Amino acid sequence: MKFYRKGVRFERELIHFLNYKGFSVSRTASSGGYLYPVDIVALKRGLILAFECKAHKNKPKLQKDKLKKFKDWCKNGGAMGFLAWRAPKNRWLFLRIEDAEKNNYADENWIGMENFLKATDFR
């Protein structure tokens, strides 16, 4: 239960930040992703973002079955999918679902919060 609470706390942190930046945000409570492979959905003037959130000490990787469900969900919903990682030192990093699918988890593929927000602030 301790890990569940930690994950929820960090998901809520991202929700509050995205809301502050003008997104309409919803958390989809589904422990383990069995019902819904998405933790957070954020909408802003037609832009749809979906996040699978992780708050690990080390760089996370998605399991192939969860990655497929996440990708299919994003495709069906017209969303851009991201693995959102609450990294050490209070940093949020984002990886495009396409990079995760290609197993491109290298540091240069992760997008910092500031650049992520600049890239999504075009609408």
CB neighbourhood size of 99 (10 A): 18
Please, what is the average pLDDT of the chain? 87
Higher-confidence residue: 123 or 97?
97
What pLDDT sits at residue 1? 45
Q: What is the pLDDT of residues 10-67, one digit of tens each?
A: 889 999 989 988 999 999 876 555 667 899 999 999 999 999 998 888 999 989 999 9
pTM score: 0.88
In terms of CATH architecture, what is 2-119?
3-Layer(aba) Sandwich (3.40)
Domain ranges (residues) in the chain:
2-119
The C-alpha atoms of residue 117 and residue 71 are separated, in whole angstroms, by 21
**SS3 annotation, the chain:** CHHHHHHHHHHHHHHHHHHHCCCEEEECCCHHHCCCCCCEEEEECCEEEEEEEECCCCCCCCCHHHHHHHHHHHHHHCCEEEEEEEECCCEEEEEEHHHHHCCCCCHHHCEEHHHHHHHCCCC
Q: What is the pLDDT of residues 61-104, one digit of tens each?
A: 989 999 999 999 999 999 999 999 998 888 899 999 999 999 99
Q: Are 93 and 107 in contact (CB under 8 A)?
A: no
